[in-house]
């Protein structure tokens, strides 16, 4: 084995460990129960694998409901981000208009604005509008956080689709809207799914805005933040695993599209 | 009936004028090439005809019908793009069928047309492939098949061969000519390659700086250039020009004869290029760069002092200031 190859393999192992070791620790502690949590060094494989802790945890009053709310918020946020982000990205990619560059920058700058400063005015405003403590309200806030990414990524996505393909569609009988869904969308789909995943994950993991803008109808993250600090360790691990699993599953489901987008695998 | 009339079409992008009042009549079934250097406006003109660009002024008529305000899909034309623009997510079969499907053709007609055009362009074995699995030449044929499948009244081609390598281009040119003659479609073909234009077209329109310099058959364009630009652009190597009191004497390199010393113009040879069928001499005569094309192989050493004489019947006179051809009868003697 040459030194170069050894270096390469070491790199791969280190990066895999970087991602997998925390996941393994979390999973082992969440599924192995009290004996594993107390043990050090940890066993490679928890002897008695049990979902008992998970089941207990899920049975705690409000956890399952918070999960559903978190899911609802994340799905709404995904829908809004895609519905608003794609047309904006398309306009940025296809048309030259006054202020296009300023718009790009402004979109990005929204991320530089600390949510903390906005917390109080937002809460007051949401209470007036009747959006406070509703999944829709939190979803709107999360959309604001996910939208810059949605706009900029879909802009580069559409830029990568040759204009001539659209023009060919027009010449061969498509209206602009038909061309969009017959030619542009099928080609943009891998990227669009990446935009959707990212919006979902941002919303699912976001905790500050979700905590501030809700009281009783909390998303899972906000709910866990509020209650876990007073819970036993087993529940803390179970909660952590529950937060991570949907994101990991989601990315696995669409990884083929992600790879296609990054050019690792062509069709 | 699908003649095309281009009536005073003008296009400006902001302060720059891409086309100035272009007029062009194209007969039904005619093949016209728009020839010119890059930036001359030929592609802009084609895109205006296709409806992909809006003219600043003027009208476009197809078969006597004013289509200036119609969207591309309603113009009854098909187009072959420079980068082919075959849809990467559709199989070859669906690419060819695309236009027919969009126009609501029934499945029997679609199947018939796909089979016919695929046969015409030798694509039958490739019908179930995706474009990514095809070579450049094959993609090019798919693009042509997709255009012919809709049986368009007018076919527009935008430098369709420019992305192919030289050998393939030669093959595709011959193939295209045959296929298009069979289809009998009125065709406008944009190119910057004069051999393509000369080889394919019934008539050539030479464009320069947004204006049509000359419209004519390939032989008219070659032998009777209307302007100095046309003489200098068409032909490889281009026409030679010598100054003669306020006028220009234009002569093709192959119309210059080597003559005995003391007869004709002194010509100092700088470069000799034996090209096989021709030997090309580049040198200086009367202070001008002059090229002489001799038939076959000649052994002329670089630096040789020769004498050349233009064949009188082949001389074309141009006005030195306007660059326009001077009609026969008013020309001076050489």
Which tens digit of pLDDT belongs to each residue from B28-84? 999 999 999 998 999 999 999 999 999 999 999 999 999 999 999 999 899 999 999
CB proximity A174 to B under 8 Å: yes
**Rg for chain B, CA atoms, rounded:** 23
Neighbours of A13 (CB within 10 A): 10
Strand duo B305-310 + B265-274: pairing: antiparallel
Query: Is the same domain home to A169 and A146?
Result: yes
Q: How far apart (Å, rounded) are the C-alpha atoms in residues B60 and B213? A: 20
Res. B329 pLDDT band, cuts 50 70 90 = low
**Residue from B85, B86, B146, B190 to probe the interface with A (highest A Cβ count within 10 Å):** B85
Query: Is the same domain home to A134 and A220?
Result: yes
CB proximity B13 to A under 8 Å: no
Question: So where are chain B's domains?
Answer: 4-223, 238-319
Q: Which of A165, A173, A266 sits opposite B73 (nearest CB)?
A: A173
Q: Between B209 and A45, name the one with better pLDDT.
A: B209
Query: Is the same domain home to A188 and A108?
Result: yes
Q: Which of A171, A172, A267 sits opposite B130 (nearest CB)?
A: A267
Q: How far apart (Å, rounded) are the C-alpha atoms in residues B113 and B108? A: 9
A172:B98 CB<8 A = yes
Of all residues in chain B, the one with the smallest CA distance to A164 is B85
Query: Is the same domain home to A94 and A12?
Result: no
Q: Dihedral of CA B255/B261/B266/B272: which sign? A: positive
Residue B93 Cα, gap to closest chain A Cα (Å): 15
Q: Which chain A residues touch B130 with a CB distance below 8 Å?
A: 267
DSSP string, B77-88: EEEEBTTB---T
CB proximity B130 to A under 8 Å: yes
In the prediction, which pLDDT does A242 show? 82
% pLDDT > 90, chain A? 33
In the prediction, which pLDDT does B88 show? 93
Res. A198 pLDDT band, cuts 50 70 90 = confident
CB proximity A120 to B under 8 Å: no
Residue B205 Cα, gap to closest chain A Cα (Å): 24
A190-199, B6-15, B48-57, B143-152: least confidently modelled range: A190-199
Q: Between A31 and B185, name the one with better pLDDT.
A: B185
Terminal alpha carbon distance of chain B: 48
Res. B186 pLDDT band, cuts 50 70 90 = very high
Q: Determine what percent of chain B falls in helix, strand and coil, rounding each to the nearest 5.
A: 30, 35, 35
Residue A152 Cα, gap to closest chain B Cα (Å): 24
Residue A41 lies in a domain: yes
Q: Between A236 and B159, name the one with better pLDDT.
A: B159
B85:A170 CB<8 A = no
pTM over the 0.90 mark: no
Res. A263 pLDDT band, cuts 50 70 90 = very low
Res. B262 pLDDT band, cuts 50 70 90 = confident
Query: Is the same domain home to A122 and A157?
Result: yes
Average pLDDT of chain A, as a whole number = 84
Q: Which chain B residues touch A173 with a CB distance below 8 Å?
A: 73, 98-99, 102-103, 150
% pLDDT > 70, chain B? 98
Query: Which CATH number does the domain housing residue A64 bear?
Result: 1.10.3720.10
B85:A174 CB<8 A = no
In the prediction, which pLDDT does A267 show? 33
Strand duo B240-244 + B247-251: pairing: antiparallel
Residue A264 pLDDT > 50: no
B102:A186 CB<8 A = no
In the prediction, which pLDDT does A20 show? 87
CB proximity A266 to B under 8 Å: yes
DSSP β-bridge partners for residue B278: B295
pLDDT mean over B95-105: 94
CB proximity A98 to B under 8 Å: no
Query: Is the same domain home to A4 and A31?
Result: yes
pLDDT mean over A219-243: 82
pLDDT mean over B121-148: 92
Q: Do domains B4-223 and B238-319 have the same CATH topology?
A: no
Range ranked top by mean pLDDT from A58-62, A95-99, A116-120, B100-104: B100-104
In the prediction, which pLDDT does A256 show? 64
How far does CA A98 lie from the centroid of its chain? 32
Residue A257 pLDDT > 70: no
A38-47, A69-78, B148-157: least confidently modelled range: A38-47
Number of domains into which chain A is organized: 2
CB proximity B50 to A under 8 Å: yes
Class (C level, CATH) for B238-319: mainly beta
CB proximity B83 to A under 8 Å: yes
B85:A162 CB<8 A = yes
pLDDT in tens, A31-68: 877 777 777 777 666 666 677 777 777 777 788 888 89
Considering only CA atoms, which of B328, B323, B243 is closest in space to residue B290?
B243
pLDDT mean over B282-305: 88
Strands of the sheet with B203-208, listed across from one edge: B77-80, B154-158, B186-191, B31-35, B203-208, B211-216
* Dihedral angle of Cα B15, B17, B18, B24, to the nearest 10 degrees: 150
B132:A187 CB<8 A = no
**Residue from B98, B155, B162 to probe the interface with A (highest A Cβ count within 10 Å):** B98
| A64-80 b/e (C-beta count within 10 Å ≥ 16 → b) | eebbebbbbbbbbbbeb
Q: How far apart (Å, rounded) are the C-alpha atoms in residues A229 and A246? A: 22
How far does CA A145 lie from the centroid of its chain? 11
Res. A136 pLDDT band, cuts 50 70 90 = very high
Strand duo B316-319 + B265-274: pairing: unpaired
In the prediction, which pLDDT does B332 show? 59
Query: Is the same domain home to A88 and A28?
Result: no
Neighbours of B16 (CB within 10 A): 8
Query: Is the same domain home to A76 and A188?
Result: yes
User: What is the topology classification, in CATH, of domain B4-223?
Assistant: Rossmann fold (3.40.50)
CB proximity B103 to A under 8 Å: yes
Q: Is the peptide bond before B237 cis (omega within 30 degrees of 0)?
A: yes
CB B259 within 8 A of CB B308: yes
% pLDDT > 70, chain A? 91
A149-158, A240-249, B22-31, B304-313: least confidently modelled range: A240-249
In the prediction, which pLDDT does A48 show? 65
Element (H, E) at A67: helix A63-94
Of all residues in chain B, the one with the smallest CA distance to A167 is B52
B132:A183 CB<8 A = no
Residue A267 lies in a domain: no
Of all residues in chain B, the one with the smallest CA distance to A172 is B99
pLDDT mean over A200-216: 88
Query: Is the same domain home to A121 and A236?
Result: yes
Element (H, E) at A11: helix A3-32
A174:B89 CB<8 A = no
Helix ranges, chain B (H): 42-50, 92-102, 107-120, 136-149, 166-183, 194-200, 218-223, 228-233
A171:B77 CB<8 A = yes
In the prediction, which pLDDT does B65 show? 92
Q: Which of A164, A173, A174 sits opposite B81 (nearest CB)?
A: A164
In the prediction, which pLDDT does A69 show? 93
Range ranked top by mean pLDDT from A34-38, B139-143, B173-177: B139-143
CB B22 within 8 A of CB B83: no
In the prediction, which pLDDT does A59 show? 78
Residue A201 Cα, gap to closest chain B Cα (Å): 29
Query: Is the same domain home to A30 and A63?
Result: no
pLDDT mean over A76-99: 93
Neighbours of B121 (CB within 10 A): 23
Burial level of B81, CB count in 10 A (0-12/13-18/19+)? Answer: buried
pLDDT mean over A59-80: 90
Element (H, E) at B244: strand B240-244
Task: Show the domain range for A98.
Answer: 57-261
Residue A173 Cα, gap to closest chain B Cα (Å): 4
In the prediction, which pLDDT does B94 show? 95
In the prediction, which pLDDT does A126 show? 93
Of all residues in chain A, the one with the smallest CA distance to B129 is A267
């Amino acid at each position: 084995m040459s030194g170069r190859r050894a270096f390469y393999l070491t790199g791969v192992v280190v990066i895999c460990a970087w991602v997998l070791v925390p996941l393994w620790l979390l999973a082992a502690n969440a599924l192995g129960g009290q004996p594993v949590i107390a043990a050090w060094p940890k066993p490679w494989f928890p002897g008695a694998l049990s979902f008992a802790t998970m089941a207990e945890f899920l049975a705690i009053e409000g956890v399952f409901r918070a999960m559903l709310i978190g899911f609802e918020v994340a799905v709404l946020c995904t829908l809004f981000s895609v519905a608003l982000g794609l047309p904006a990205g398309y306009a940025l990619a296809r048309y030259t208009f006054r202020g296009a560059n300023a718009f790009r920058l402004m979109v990005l700058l929204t991320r530089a604005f600390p949510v903390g400063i906005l917390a109080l005015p937002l809460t007051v405003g949401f209470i007036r509008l009747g959006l406070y403590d509703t999944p829709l309200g939190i979803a709107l806030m999360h959309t604001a956080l996910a939208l810059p990414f949605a706009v900029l990524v879909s802009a580069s996505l559409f830029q990568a689709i040759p204009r001539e393909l659209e023009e060919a569609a027009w010449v061969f009988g498509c209206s602009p809207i038909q061309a969009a869904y017959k030619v542009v969308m099928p080609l943009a789909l891998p990227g669009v799914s990446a935009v959707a995943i990212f919006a979902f994950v941002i919303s699912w993991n976001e905790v500050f805005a979700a905590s501030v803008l809700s009281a009783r109808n909390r998303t899972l993250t906000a709910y866990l933040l509020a209650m876990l600090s007073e819970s036993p360790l087993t529940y803390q691990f179970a909660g952590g695993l529950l937060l991570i699993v949907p994101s990991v599953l989601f990315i696995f489901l669409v990884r083929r599209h992600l790879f296609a987008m990054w050019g690792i695998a062509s069709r | 009936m699908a003649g095309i009339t281009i009536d005073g079409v003008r296009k400006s992008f902001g302060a720059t004028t891409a086309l100035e009042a272009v007029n062009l009549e194209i007969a039904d079934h005619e093949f016209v090439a728009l020839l010119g250097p890059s930036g001359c406006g030929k592609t802009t003109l084609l895109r205006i005809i296709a409806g992909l660009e809006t003219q600043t002024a003027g009208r476009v008529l197809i078969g006597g019908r004013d289509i200036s305000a119609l969207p591309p899909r309603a113009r009854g034309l098909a187009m072959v793009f420079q980068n082919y623009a075959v849809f990467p997510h559709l199989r070859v079969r669906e690419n060819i069928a695309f236009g027919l499907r969009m126009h609501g053709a029934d499945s029997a007609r679609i199947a018939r047309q796909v089979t016919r055009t695929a046969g015409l362009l030798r694509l039958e074995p490739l019908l179930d492939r995706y474009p990514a699995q095809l070579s450049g030449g094959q993609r090019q044929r798919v693009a042509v098949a997709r255009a012919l499948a809709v049986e368009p009244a007018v076919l527009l081609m935008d430098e369709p061969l420019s992305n192919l390598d030289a050998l393939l281009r030669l093959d595709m040119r011959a193939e295209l000519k045959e296929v298009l003659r069979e289809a009998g479609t009125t065709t406008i073909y944009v190119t910057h390659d004069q051999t393509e234009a000369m080889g394919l077209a019934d008539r050539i329109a030479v464009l320069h700086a947004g204006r049509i310099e000359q419209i004519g058959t390939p032989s008219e364009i070659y032998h009777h250039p209307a302007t100095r630009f046309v003489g200098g652009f068409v032909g490889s190597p281009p026409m030679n020009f010598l100054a003669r009191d306020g006028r220009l004497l234009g002569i093709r390199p192959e119309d210059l004869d080597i003559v005995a010393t003391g007869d004709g113009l002194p010509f100092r040879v700088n470069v000799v290029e034996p090209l096989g069928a021709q030997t090309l001499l580049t040198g200086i005569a009367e202070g001008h760069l002059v090229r002489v094309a001799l038939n076959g192989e000649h052994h002329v050493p670089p630096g040789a002092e020769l004498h050349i004489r233009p064949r009188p019947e082949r001389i074309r006179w141009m006005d030195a200031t306007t660059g326009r051809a001077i009609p026969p009868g008013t020309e001076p003697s050489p």
